[in-house]
Structures are given as structure tokens and as C-alpha cells.
Chains A and B, each alone.
Chain A
Amino acid sequence: MSSSDPLELIDQYLDRVRIYLPLDSEDVIVELQTHLIEEAERIGGGTMTAGSAMMAIERMGDPKNVAHEYAGSGKKVGPVPAEYVAPLSRMLIVLAGVALALIVGAMMIGATFSDLFGFGIENWPFSIPIMLFINITIILVIIGGISLLDRSKPLTDKTTLESLFGIGVEGFKPKTRWEAAGDLVMGIIWGVILLLPPVVALYTDAFRVFYIYVVVFLLLGAARGALFYLFGENNFNLSVEAILSVVWIGLALILVNVGFPVQYVYVNQGGTWVTFDMLEFFQTNEIPFVPFDLIWAFVMFITVAIAVWRIIVSSMKITMHLRAGKGIWWQGNWGERRRLRKPFWKRVLGDQDSIQEGTVYHDGYMDSEESQ
């Protein structure tokens, strides 16, 4: 599905190159982007057209070769060609990380390993990584066949294999500014809500002992959000993220045993709000299934799985940045991908200011590059 927008063509092509590059190669993408735009303008006699962009792309060549030339020292690993080593290992790390996160999350809520080695895996958390593995194997076999059909695709269209490798790219993308702002705002909002006396009155006795630690954790999470919002991804912020994730796992160990934190809800009785004991309601009405602890275990499972994933990603990125000699602190970047094409809302509303004389492109670029 090739576009007629030259910038979209370049963007699509660079998306393919990005898949084969190591993590933290955004500067290479920007350099190639500038090269392609200038080359397309030169070919088009000063104006970039879809045709001139396509010619510039064709001159640059196959995305995996381009990425391999830039990555430089990529080496073949076993039967895997050098240009596939980075995307394949990244994808496998993502899958292994997801599996590990799910297993740790399952252990937290007390799921047992007893059936794991006897193949009688009925505990649903364990079946997820195994299903993932089986399905990915099947997909890889199918993709081997589909890839044969991809050969005639234009250079700007991702192959099926590249779509799969895209999982690895997405899995390690830095936090976007929106996500960081979300962490900041939601951390403060929930921290304050959990502190409100009318809310505290709803807690179980057991949770009332620990809720202040949850509030502190939420506020620390908000501080982490502020750090990422202001300074992007750097080793200091990644360390904060990893430490907070470890702290959360420790806290979750206690909280999962504390049980569902809310025992009461407010109900309106004759114009006044009174508390209503949910647990008592279930027990006095002899409702056999009390879902609260199950809900709580599920919440803990999800949050611990996310925390484990964050520890894995942060540790990998910190190591990678240290190897690149970046140290601890720098003005980092965010996960917003620089889109060359005009955003949909601007296309609908029209954005004449952004279209320059003599050129037909617009850029959603924000000055988010690392200054180091």
C-alpha cells in the first residue's frame, strides 16, 4: 500500500530500516531522513514528489543492507544472517521478558509450579508464555512461506517478517511524554484520593495499616513521571524506574496477603450517605462466590508483571547506554516517533502555515533529540 505522499514514503522506508538497527539508533534515522529528503529534492529539481522520493529510496537500497552498513560490526550468529541478529534477538528478549514477567506475577499470587514440568499446565498464567512460544513458532513457519510473496513489494512496504520484528522495536521504545505526564498526574491524583479521610474509611482494617506506603509509592511514581517528562530517558531516570519497580514487587508481596483493600462502599439512605459493608452482604446473603480477593490477586499479578518487565527493560537500556559511554545523566529523548507526514487532524483542518514555498512536505518533528 504505497502512498503518494513523498514524506510518507520516506517515513515508511525508514520504519523498515529502524527494524534492523540496534536500539538507540534514532540519530542514524534522522541522518538518513535528511539525506533522502535532500536527494529527493535534488532529483525533483528543488521540489520533492512521490516519484523523486521513490528514486531516492531506491538509490539508498534495501533497508536491511542500509541498516547493516550503519550498524557496522554485525556478525552472523549461528544460522542467523548478521542483518537479522539485532531484530531477532530484540524480539526474543521481548518474548522472554513477557514470559518472565508473567511467571513472577503468577508466583506472587501463589500459583504453583507443580504441573509445569509434567506438562499438565492448567494454571492459566503459565499457559500464556507457553502458548506464546507455540504460536510464535507456528507464525514463524507460516511467515517463511508468506515471505516468498513479499519479494515483489516496493521498498516502502514492510515485509511480513518485519511486521513481526516490529514487536521488538515497540517493546523497547522510550516512554512518550504523554505516558510520563500520565504517570505524574495519575500518581498525584491517586495518591491524594487514597489519603482522603472519606476514602480511608472504606478500607479494610488490614489495608489501613499499609495504605500510607501505597500513597508514598504513588507519589514517588509521580516524581518518576516528572523526571521522564522533563528529562526524557537517561540512566538516572531508568535507575529510578527500576528501583521503584523493585520496591513495588516488595510492597506487592505484602499487599497480596493483605487482600482486597476495600470493605465498604457509600450508599445513599434517605438522603444521607452511609457506609455499606460489602463483605457482610456477601456472607449474610450466603452468596458462595466472593470475588474480591480474586480481583485483588489479578490486580497484583498485572502490576507485578509490569514491574518485572520494567526492571528487565531498564537494566538492558542502562547497560546499553553505559556501553555507549553516556554516563548517568543527560537530556534524554522521548518515545514519540518523529512523523514526517502531516497528522490526520491537520490534514482535515488544513494547516497552511506549515507548508513551505517550493516544498510540499510538512514535519511533525519536535525538538526531542538528545543534546549529548
Chain B
Amino acid sequence: MSKKTQEELDRWSKEVKRGAVTLAILALLSKKRAYGYEAVKLLDETMSFLALEQGTVYPLLRRLEKRELLKSEWDYADPTKPKKYYAVTEEGLKALGAMTQTWSVLSREMRDVIMEVE
């Protein structure tokens, strides 16, 4: 792959990731609540393409909480490691449903277009 192609791929990947990350976090947390570190690892394991690091995940969790798509609860069961658990709110589930629908349409249409190219 040429340097120019690599640059274009990097730029495009960044844009795709930016759009996908909110959906990915909401989808993962809708299945099971998770605390920060757990969410970072979960995203790292299941969404390798996104290659999300803590520097991206934590601020995003806080932003989504502020926008009331996520709610949080502290768990002090292990006092050496208090955990802030994040879960999806009702509003978050509605947003997730809408985003999933749009994403499905987008990916189906993209697949059709790409197949034509191939």
C-alpha cells in the first residue's frame, strides 16, 4: 500500500470510528452494565477496528452520561478499587434503537454499492 493510500485510509478510518464509537459503547452497555476499566477492555476485545484507548473511552462515557444516555452508580464493595458502573438509560436505549436502524440501512446500502464496485 502506498503512503498516500495509507494516509487516506487512516483519515477515513478516523471518520468512521468517530461515528461508530457512540453506537458501539451504547450497544455493549445495553447488554451488561460495566465500569470504566471493564468497558475499555470489552471494547478493546470486541471492537478491534475501533482500537479505543482509555483516553477516548472515559471522556466519552462522561459525555454520554452528561447527555443522559448513560447513568452511573458507584460500587465501593472493594474499597481499594471503587468502581463507577455505567448503564444505558431509557433515553439511551431509544437512541440506540434509532442509531442501530440507521446503521443497518447504511451498512446494507454500503454493501450493495461495494458489491457493484467489486
Contact = CB atoms under 8 A, between A and B. Distances in A.
Interface string B49-87: 000001100110011000000000010100111111000
Nearest to A61: B55
A369 B58 CA distance: 19
Interface of chain A, main secondary structure: helix
B96 interface: no
Nearest to B79: A365
Contacts of B40: 35
A38 B62 contact: no
Residue among A31, A33, A363 facing the most chain B CB atoms (10 A cut-off)? A31
Nearest to B84: A31
Given A35-B54, A61-B55, A66-B55, A72 B62 contact: yes
A361 interface: yes
A39 B37 contact: yes
A31 B76 contact: no
Interface residues of A, number: 27
A365 B80 contact: yes
A361 B79 CA distance: 12
Contact of B83 (A34, A39, A367): A34
A366 to B, nearest CB: 8
Assign chain B's interface to a size class.
10 to 19
A70 B83 CA distance: 17
B79 A34 contact: no
Contact of B82 (A61, A66, A361, A369): A369
A18 to B, nearest CB: 15
Contacts of B76: 367, 369
A328 interface: no
A340 B81 CA distance: 10
A363 B84 CA distance: 18
Given A365-B82, A369-B76, A35 B37 contact: yes
B79 A363 contact: yes
Contact of B55 (A38, A69, A359): A69
Nearest to A371: B74
A37 B55 contact: no
